[in-house]
A = this chain, B = another copy of it.
Amino acid sequence: MKTLKESKVAIVGLGLMGGSLAGALRGKCRAVVGIARRKETVEQAISDGLIDLGTTDMEPAVGSADIVVLATPVRAIIELVNDLGPLLQDDALLIDLGSTKSDITHAMADLPPHVQPLGAHPMCGKELSGISAADPGLYEGRTFILVPLPRTSLQAIDAGRDLARAIGALPLILDDPHRHDFLVATLSHLPYLLACSLVAAADATTSQDEAAWEIVAGGYRDTSRVAASDVDMMVDIIMTNRQEILEALAEYSSHLDQLTQLIRTADERGLRMKLSYAREKRMEMFP
């Protein structure tokens, strides 16, 4: 397997994640080739200096790459994994950046044996999406989860680590895709669903009062931020992680119901205990 410096890297999907990755990798490998469906996206990636070469024609571009990175929504990644295998070079590394890993690595298991598959999930993002939001510094200092399959070679895992380090990220191997999906259901997908429900509640009750948006403070702004996430991306994430998300929602709802009941019955002692516990845990989590 070639070193990153010698590799031609093809990135499929030039949105926030793919465009940022392209910009971060440029100059650190032989060439960064950007592939997008729309010609305008490719043109913008070139004029923003994010890629060396760009095209809307996937087959030749991925067929000549040493590393292919899939940076589309999760279900488009699964389709690409199913389609691209035969086109790829011998010993090509196929990485994806999808936010759920069970369905993707399941599809990767069926790739032809000449391809090296490696799941990945960089723990970063913005509520903005698209090539205009791309930022080569996006991965800096962030955890970059790598989910190898049993068939993935040690060289391929090392190449994934090198790629993560080249963009300033911190690689973390998690070899169980179900464990990954269970953790992100609570730590990432659940906060998104809460934020959307909070915005919907505020929209229904307070937004018609013109004072509401003058008095809104940091608590609401922070708690609702991720509700502005890209919907195509989030629908794919949710639809490929339903069981884990439903479990996380059930656990969460049981705590919210307890708080509601304590407030309803004016059980001040119980309320204080539960809120103190949450405060203590939050402070342990982010000291």
Contact = CB atoms under 8 A, between A and B. Distances in A.
B215 A187 contact: yes
B260 A214 contact: no
A154 interface: no
Interface string A149-183: 00000000000000000000010101000011011
Contact of A281 (B200, B209, B231, B246): B200
Contacts of A180: 215
A28 B77 CA distance: 61
Given A206-B183, A255-B201, A221 B286 contact: yes
Given A235-B271, A245-B263, A222 B211 contact: no
Give the number of copies in the complex: 2
Interface residues of A, number: 92
Interface string A85-120: 000000000000000000000000000000000000
Interface of A: 121, 123-125, 127, 142-143, 145, 170, 172, 174, 179-180, 182-184, 186-188, 190-207, 209, 211-229, 231, 234-235, 238-239, 242, 245-249, 251-253, 255-256, 259-260, 263-264, 266, 268, 271-272, 274-279, 281-283, 285-286
